[in-house]
Structure 1
């Protein structure tokens, strides 16, 4: 591959993706001319344009630059995409996002966070801990940090914090010095075929850890005895048989205070201003990284207390005594379970209403029973039609299918238009209203809030 130092112009196909945009921001920070394509305008693409990157939104060979040294594409782009085909046929240097990230991180001390869920929040927590404490890092995030309003930042320190994506086995290109595995639940079965194959790949990821490196994994993972690493610490939010666990957890108006025991040592008086006990667990993993790097306990405590979260991860859109509106990226049954359980435990006196947009026909079909069980935790469920993303419809697979899997009688499927009509008619007082999904439901959060009479 061409040396990064020789790149003057670079083009991204799918520049608006969360991982792709982080890479685009990296190259832009290196004074390289960046441009790209995406199919729709989003707040993220607008932010890229405002920072000086050219983005176009039509699949048009006349609109693409011909004088680029590198073309980067996301695996979410169809193989027959006209721009991708053109660059490949014309002999340009064309690489997947994961290949480029591999090259960028070569020679760095790499902290890589993987897992079918929890990885974005944990990655952002780790990066914030290192930045806020003064340790320093380069961060490639899979979400937008609320503290810094970005998914990338750079630092002179030769340390990379990287969200390691298991989709299409991308994370096997990375070489971690420290790795975190947050979860290994069945997902991406359209890629892996079986849960066992997915778990095999996480074991392979553990084998990528450099000699003398550290694996921090959630306690009780199905294949934890098969992980290959020189040192392993296991963490849990609920089991003190783990190497790292919390004590004295208390809730205060949507926030948590707790202590952490790490391999016999203690950090006392931590405060996390983020909802959901699963986020306490995510913070424990991040705290373990900082502790193992030798960051002072008081700096760890200050950084966790100042962490404002990740956009669309248990994000409070409105939070007062009468009304709670939360937006979350949850798109897997276990993520929904953690989200809804967390909301109900934090606000037990309020009715829990979830508006969920299923993501992918294959995931909805493969995990339909688990989706039904998780959604039943809510008091009322509204489903939007399935967001297809990269997929074509599967006959018989629909949001109505999930209704049949639920015992809850307060459930319905609504179009986006009818959802806004519902929001206009409902009284939000005394309710926790949650929007959830990985599709385009985030574009509805502000309109829903307006219809409910809510202003952030």
Structure 2
């Protein structure tokens, strides 16, 4: 099939972060873009302001007339998060519309361009955003489909120049539902391959197998940029591409002479020819490694080291990835999307290194019943890095409850000095009664709806 045969693009779940990037792409191409989502958000509001028609009730009568009357000219794109009993989805299937997953469409788009696929159970959004910013800074023809809103561009779609066969497409290669197997990159980054999405894969070994399959899909003669911790496990037998191994302190590409000031790092980047001193524009130990991976990938696109240095220094991050919400003398508030024990540990260790003599209060909302069940012990250990923990109920997302699985599976083994169970109804009251020094909200559910109320409360209480 060819995407050119459609002039109406209809999204089921248009407000999803990956879906909305595609929606913006089709809008830029001059097509009519519309869609459904369950709830209105700041992101859906932005899409509406950009000209997209969106409704929030699952009702066939609410679908645009051009979709109802133009079946042969309409492409429907859906997210796996759409429930099985969704009325609009059922209508579109029964009436023979062309319906595709987001990953399938991204694969169709990217096959026409030089593709950089960024994979990994952690770090792919920030790393792909860094790659996009470096390429844009370098003046390359590029388009990036990102899994987060970059603060440099306030968008999850970043574009520059004319779209031609030489355009570089940056795509997050998502392991969920094996979506990344739709991509055939020229350059692939693999940041990590921890056990995750076990509701899909069953066990860690199946996750590893899927990552190996992704690596096999790199174009012959291309480049694999892979973290040292998974290089042997995933790529020992890979010989159809050039392997580039990186890590914090060893490998072909690494950081040396790392120094920190208020949590922001400077380091010497090794492996790209001349050793260059980099001042990273975002905090967090893990972002040093993300920056190295992004630099190696960009260098294979012909970007020189001085431009890479300039871009990394001006990179301001991704919303909900180590995002400073309040930065006052009396109180600090940072928000992060971390939703796996390894991500939470990396984030909290970075927070404690930045503010070693201050009390760290963490609000965490677990994401998915299956993930809570599979990693309860790991969550308890990583969250115990907090001095005070407020633990919310599980955000179910696409799942139905599992008997016996709730947030208490995590709560009971947390060793923080203070730990409090809460829900969305009483979180703000409990937080207001606490003495806050350094605060972090953590999670991938709808905890982000509390960011503004918490910001306003802290500003008022501490006169920020």
TM-score range normalised by the length of the shorter chain: over 0.9
Matched, 1:373 2:381: yes
Paired position in structure 1 for 2:454: 448
Deviation of the 1:323 alpha carbon: 1.9
Matched, 1:354 2:356: no
Matched, 1:407 2:415: yes
SS of equivalent to 2:236: helix
Deviation of the 1:79 alpha carbon: 3.0
Out of 190, 205, 208, the position equivalent to 1:199 is 208
Structure 1 window deviating more from structure 2 (7-16 vs 267-276): it is 267-276
After the TM superposition, which residues 126-141 of structure 1 pair with which residues of structure 2 at under 5 Å, given as runs?
A: 126-141=131-146
Deviation of the 1:136 alpha carbon: 3.2
Deviation of the 1:295 alpha carbon: 1.1
Deviation of the 1:89 alpha carbon: 1.1
After the TM superposition, which residues 33-432 of structure 1 pair with which residues of structure 2 at under 5 Å, given as runs?
A: 33-64=32-63, 65-66=67-68, 67=70, 68-155=73-160, 156=162, 158-221=167-230, 222-227=233-238, 229-237=240-248, 239-240=249-250, 242-262=251-271, 265-428=273-436, 431-432=437-438
Distance 1:349 1:188 in 2: 36
Paired position in structure 2 for 1:17: 16
Contact 2:10–2:35, Cα closer than 8 Å, also in 1 = yes
Cα 1:228–1:441 change in 2 (3 A) is farther
Distance 2:447 2:52 in 1: 26
Cα 1:326–1:347 change in 2 (3 A) is same
Q: Which runs of 5+ in 1 are unaligned?
A: none
- CA deviation vs aligned residue, 1:418-456 (integer Å, no higher than 9, x gap): 22112322333xx22000100000010110122223688
Distance 2:423 2:431 in 1: 12
SS of equivalent to 2:258: strand
Distance 1:253 1:229 in 2: 43
SS of equivalent to 1:11: strand
Cα RMSD of the aligned pairs, angstroms, is 1.4
Contact 2:119–2:190, Cα closer than 8 Å, also in 1 = yes
SS of equivalent to 1:49: helix
- CA deviation vs aligned residue, 1:75-129 (integer Å, no higher than 9, x gap): 1112332111111111111111111111111121000001111000001000011
Q: Which runs of 5+ in 2 are unaligned?
A: none
Distance 2:225 2:329 in 1: 38
SS of equivalent to 2:386: coil
Contact 1:359–1:439, Cα closer than 8 Å, also in 2 = yes
Deviation of the 1:227 alpha carbon: 4.5
How many pairs does the alignment contain? 450
Contact 1:254–1:273, Cα closer than 8 Å, also in 2 = no
